């Protein structure tokens, strides 16, 4: 990963802010992180879209403790009543061996029982629309999967993005039918594993799917679930993120307050010209760096909003087979991976996510500590005032606060379009010192590069303010962190 600050316009130049590098975010192997709230996408192996084996050594160091996989009915049952789970065994065991817990999406049809799917993997074709015999075959298959993996996998999701036509065939999207299908599948799972964690919703576009979820909940879906998942693809990851969580949480509280929220799938491309370019404005400006910025903004935003688990799609680029959805039209490769499809080397997004996974681990807890970005230095008598003219598109920075090992941890950034480039701006950060431990060795952490810098101007404001100010520090369009060096 290039971290040559002066030549990469997406990184700030520490010399412009008088910052001295004093270290980097400590990295541990995934197994050595007791727990965190991050996962990766490991889907599409039912269609052989990437090679899993080169991914395991990289996942062993990434730090994400979860991975979403798909069960692949069409790949498991190629002869009626005969199940071959060898390929899926290799995936589950490969993930567990490096400290990653798989959760399994039970999804997609099987051309042994359906004559109209557009291609052999029958993506998006729903068994309940093919009569009692096919429903019975789905029931047998689900029970066989759960029986086979019950000692290794306990979390099962029902289907994928049932609120869009790409994944709900051959009839049109129907939330009431999805609720019935969830009930049917959850019943099959619990026959073999009564204590299974049942996951559902898995809706495309996240909060935009609230009307679909309301109807599915009203039809009884919530009663079957332990976790609600959503897929909030956006060009700007913060778009509607706050209200989205509040709306989904309110919906869960109305029907089943104990429901937990997982952000189950979201990502963005690292190159121009692949599938999902539509997620980015100014698509010709897509780079590994814009992807990395997008990824850590999404992951930190999820932590700020108290999401229980946040998954990045995908572990690797999906370019080893032609990508199809249910309509049968070949699509461009999905170049959203943390790893390059060509050689499975880490992209910048991998390194950036590794920083997040290691910093936001079991020792970091969400806290509500007041802090705010100031642009003009109006609260301190500072010889180096903040920039008087704001060079970015928005005037308000996003902030989020945590505690790590008892020390306060403050994040802040500007939610501009990640594909654009902005000069870092000089600001001061006012923080509330009320925490278990005070900051006496202030540092600035760059989550994009993992570098840690000493903050030399950390000023205490007396009088009734009683606050501290980290002065002469950069504001960027990706999360920076102010904390105590002993928190690392």
Q: In what order do the strands lie in the sheet with 451-454?
A: 20-24, 451-454, 442-446, 480-484, 407-413, 398-404, 364-366
φ/ψ bin of 234: left (φ > 0), alpha (ψ from -120 to 50), beta (otherwise)? beta
pLDDT score recorded for residue 353: 98
pTM above 0.85, yes or no: yes
What element of type H or E holds 304?
helix 288-304
The dihedral formed by the CA atoms of 173, 177, 183 and 189, expressed in degrees to the nearest 10: -50
pLDDT score recorded for residue 120: 87
Indicate the SS3 state at residue 275: coil
Return the CA Rg of the chain.
Answer: 23
φ/ψ bin of 185: left (φ > 0), alpha (ψ from -120 to 50), beta (otherwise)? alpha
* Residue reference for tokens 């060096």: 485
Report the candidate in 409, 440, 408, 429 with the shortest Cα–Cα distance to residue 476.
429
Tokens standing for 150?
A: 């019950």
Pick the CATH number of 16-25+364-487 from 3.20.20.80, 2.60.40.1180, 3.40.220.10, 1.20.1250.20: 2.60.40.1180
Please report which residue ranges of 98-196 form alpha helices under DSSP H. Answer: 132-149, 175-192
Indicate the SS3 state at residue 475: strand
pLDDT score recorded for residue 426: 86
Report the candidate in 424, 466, 468 with the shortest Cα–Cα distance to residue 446.
424
What element of type H or E holds 247?
helix 241-255
pLDDT score recorded for residue 330: 79
Indicate the SS3 state at residue 470: strand
Tokens standing for 117?
A: 């799917």
Tokens standing for 417?
A: 């379009």
CA–CA separation, 142 vs 191, rounded Å?
10
Indicate the SS3 state at residue 272: coil
**Is 36-359 a domain of CATH 3.20.20.80?**
yes
Would the CATH topology of 16-25+364-487 be identical to that of 36-359? Answer: no
CA–CA separation, 419 vs 247, rounded Å?
28
**C-alpha angle with apex 342: 98 to 351, nearest 5 degrees?**
50
Tokens standing for 84?
A: 């071959």
CA–CA separation, 342 vs 271, rounded Å?
13
Is-contact 33 362, C-beta < 8 A? yes
CA–CA separation, 208 vs 201, rounded Å?
12
Averaged pLDDT, groups of 10, the chain, 488 residues long:
43 90 97 96 97 98 98 97 98 98 97 92 96 98 98 98 95 97 98 98 95 98 98 93 96 97 96 74 81 97 97 97 76 92 97 98 94 72 53 71 95 90 86 82 96 91 71 92 96
Is-contact 309 262, C-beta < 8 A? yes
Residue ranges of the domains in the chain? Answer: 16-25+364-487, 36-359
Is-contact 358 25, C-beta < 8 A? yes
Tokens standing for 446?
A: 């760059």
Indicate the SS3 state at residue 40: strand
Is-contact 358 37, C-beta < 8 A? no
Indicate the pairing of strand 468-475 with strand 458-460: antiparallel
Is-contact 109 117, C-beta < 8 A? yes
pLDDT score recorded for residue 9: 63
């Amino acid at each position: 990963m290039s971290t040559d600050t002066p030549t990469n316009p997406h990184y700030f130049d520490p010399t412009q802010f008088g910052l001295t590098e004093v270290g980097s975010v400590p990295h541990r192997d995934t197994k050595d992180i007791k727990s965190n709230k991050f996962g990766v996408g490991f889907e599409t192996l039912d269609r052989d879209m990437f090679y899993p084996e080169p991914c395991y050594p990289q996942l062993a160091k990434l730090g994400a403790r979860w991975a979403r996989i798909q069960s692949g009915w069409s790949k498991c049952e190629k002869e009626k009543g005969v199940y071959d789970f060898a390929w899926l065994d290799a995936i589950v065991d490969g993930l567990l061996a490096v400290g990653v817990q798989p959760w399994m999406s039970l999804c997609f049809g099987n051309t042994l029982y359906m004559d109209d799917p557009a291609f052999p993997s029958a993506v998006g074709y729903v068994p309940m629309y093919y009569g009692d015999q096919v429903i019975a075959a789905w029931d047998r298959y689900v029970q066989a999967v759960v029986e086979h993996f019950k000692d290794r996998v306990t979390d099962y999701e029902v289907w994928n993005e049932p609120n869009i036509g790409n994944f709900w065939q051959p009839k049109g999207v129907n939330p009431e039918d999805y609720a019935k299908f969830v009930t049917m599948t959850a019943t099959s799972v619990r026959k073999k594993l009564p204590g299974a964690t049942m996951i559902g919703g898995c809706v495309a576009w996240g909060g935009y799917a609230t009307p679909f979820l309301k109807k599915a909940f009203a039809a009884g879906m919530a009663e079957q679930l332990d976790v609600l998942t959503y897929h909030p693809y956006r060009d700007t990851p913060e778009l509607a993120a706050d209200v989205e969580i509040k709306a989904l949480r309110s919906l869960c509280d109305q029907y089943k307050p104990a429901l937990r929220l997982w952000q189950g799938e979201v990502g963005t491309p690292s190159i121009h010209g692949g599938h999902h370019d539509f997620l980015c404005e100014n698509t010709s400006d897509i780079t590994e760096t814009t992807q990395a910025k997008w990824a850590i903004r999404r992951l930190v935003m999820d932590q700020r909003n108290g999401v229980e688990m946040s998954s990045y799609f995908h572990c690797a680029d999906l370019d080893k087979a032609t990508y199809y959805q249910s309509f049968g039209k070949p699509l461009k490769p999905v170049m959203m991976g943390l790893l390059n499809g060509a050689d499975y080397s880490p992209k910048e997004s991998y390194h950036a996510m590794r920083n997040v996974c290691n910093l936001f681990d079991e020792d970091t807890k969400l806290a509500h500590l007041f802090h705010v970005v100031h642009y003009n230095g109006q609260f301190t008598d500072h010889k180096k005032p903040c920039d008087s003219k704001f060079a970015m598109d928005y005037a308000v920075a996003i902030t989020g606060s945590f505690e790590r090992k008892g020390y306060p941890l403050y994040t802040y950034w500007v939610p501009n379009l990640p594909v654009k480039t902005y000069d870092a701006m000089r600001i001061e950060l006012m923080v509330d010192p009320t925490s278990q431990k005070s900051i006496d060795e202030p540092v600035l952490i760059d989550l994009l590069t993992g570098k840690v810098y000493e903050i030399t101007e950390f000023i205490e404001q007396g009088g009734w303010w009683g606050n501290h100010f980290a002065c002469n520090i950069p504001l960027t369009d990706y999360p920076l962190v102010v904390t105590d060096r002993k928190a690392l």
